[in-house]
């Protein structure tokens, strides 16, 4: 049975966990994420921030869970009944992801990299594409390959690709970790401004907490239990 969510709710999770082979365990104890929410997930290296994004983005199968609903979909049931195609479709249709190092496909042009999510779900919007590339100031490199553009341009391109389908939620894993501090501010500004214009929810992981919090995100701090090797997290407005 589907969990009744209000019109603004995207996620509801309760005691959703993931466990590594070495015994380290990640638990999202409670989470409610609504349209337009902007969160920063913080914590030391190795605490499981990227794993948390993997769970929330439907890319990692939870080991256990009491409730995990996204857009009226029972995610635990989809995993348990091996409905991987449906999970993939939900990811492609509703999620945008900005990885640490852009992860562009090297043999595609910049334009093809950005438009790839559109091809996957057969949703084309040239006007929105034009708005994104103009806003992010990358129109001049659309015909180039990833190795022909700068690190900062690659991160801008990753932002455009994440937003091209106007996702309900955008996740960014340490999006400024590999760039100069000046460029970090530029990328954060462009990411948050663009997400705001598309009315997407946003979840960022970052070690650079002070810098990210300048942009109005709400910080969710991982609670580390070193005795039991457990990371716990609550996400709430």
Average pLDDT of 91-114?
A: 92
2 lies in some domain: no
End-to-end CA distance of the chain: 25
Based on the structure, what is the number of domains in the chain?
1
- 3 found inside a domain: no
Q: Are 101 and 176 in contact (CB under 8 A)?
A: no
Residue 66 lies in a domain: yes
Average pLDDT over residues 15-41: 93
SS3 34: strand
In this model, does residue 2 exceed pLDDT 60? no
With cut-offs at 50, 70 and 90, classify the pLDDT of residue 146.
Answer: very high
> How many whole angstroms from its chain centre is CA 123?
20
80 contact partners, CB below 8 Å, separation of at least 6 = none
Higher pLDDT, 27 or 236: 27
> Is 121 a member of any domain?
yes
For residue 4, pLDDT over 60 is answered with: no
Q: Inform me whether the pLDDT recorded for 1 exceeds 50.
A: no
CB 99 within 8 A of CB 173: yes
SS3 194: helix
Residue 222 predicted with pLDDT over 50: yes
Report the share of the chain in percent with pLDDT over 90: 63
pLDDT of residue 136: 86
**Residue 153, CB-side half-sphere exposure with 13 Å CA sphere:** 18
Any domain includes 160: yes
Length of the chain: 237
**What tokens does 87 get?**
């999970």
Asked if residues 169 and 10 have their Cβ atoms less than 8 Å apart, the reply is: yes
pTM, two decimals, is 0.87
Find the mean pLDDT for residues 202-209: 92
- Residue 237 clears pLDDT 90, i.e. is over it: no
Residue 88 has pLDDT above 70, yes or no: yes
Mean pLDDT over the full length of the chain: 90
pLDDT(7) > 70: no
DSSP, residue by residue, 1-28? ------TTEEEEEEEEEEE-TTS-EEEE
**CATH number of the domain enclosing 34:** 3.40.50.300
Q: How far is CA 34 from CA 10, 96, 97, 189, in A?
A: 5, 16, 17, 21
**Residue 137 is encoded by which pair of tokens?**
């100031």
CA distance linking residue 149 with residue 157, whole number of Å? 10
Q: Is residue 1 part of a domain?
A: no
Residue 108 lies in a domain: yes
Q: pLDDT at position 71, please?
A: 87
159-174 confidence digits (pLDDT tens): 899 989 889 999 999 8
Domain that holds residue 181: 9-235
């Amino acid at each position: 049975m589907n969990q009744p969510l209000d019109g603004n709710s995207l996620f509801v999770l309760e005691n959703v966990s993931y466990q590594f082979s070495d015994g380290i365990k990640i638990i999202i104890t409670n989470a409610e994420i609504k349209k337009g929410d902007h969160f920063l997930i913080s914590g030391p290296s190795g605490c499981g921030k990227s794993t948390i994004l993997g769970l929330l983005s439907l890319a990692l199968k939870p080991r256990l869970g009491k409730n995990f609903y996204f857009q009226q979909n029972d995610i635990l049931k989809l995993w348990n009944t091996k409905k991987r195609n449906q999970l993939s479709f939900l990811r492609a249709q509703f999620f945008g992801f900005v990885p640490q190092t852009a992860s562009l496909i090297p043999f595609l042009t910049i334009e093809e990299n950005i438009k790839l999510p559109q091809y996957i779900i057969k949703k084309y919007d040239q006007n929105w594409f034009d708005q994104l590339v103009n806003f992010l100031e990358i129109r001049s490199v659309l015909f180039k390959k990833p190795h022909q553009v700068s690190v900062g341009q690659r991160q801008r391109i990753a932002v455009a690709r994440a937003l091209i389908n106007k996702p309900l939620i955008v996740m960014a894993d340490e999006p400024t970790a590999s760039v100069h501090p000046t460029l970090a501010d530029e990328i954060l500004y462009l990411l948050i401004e663009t997400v705001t214009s598309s009315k997407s929810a946003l979840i960022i992981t970052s070690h650079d907490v002070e810098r990210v919090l300048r942009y109005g995100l709400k910080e969710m701090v991982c609670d580390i239990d070193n005795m039991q090797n457990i990371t716990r997290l609550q996400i709430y407005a």
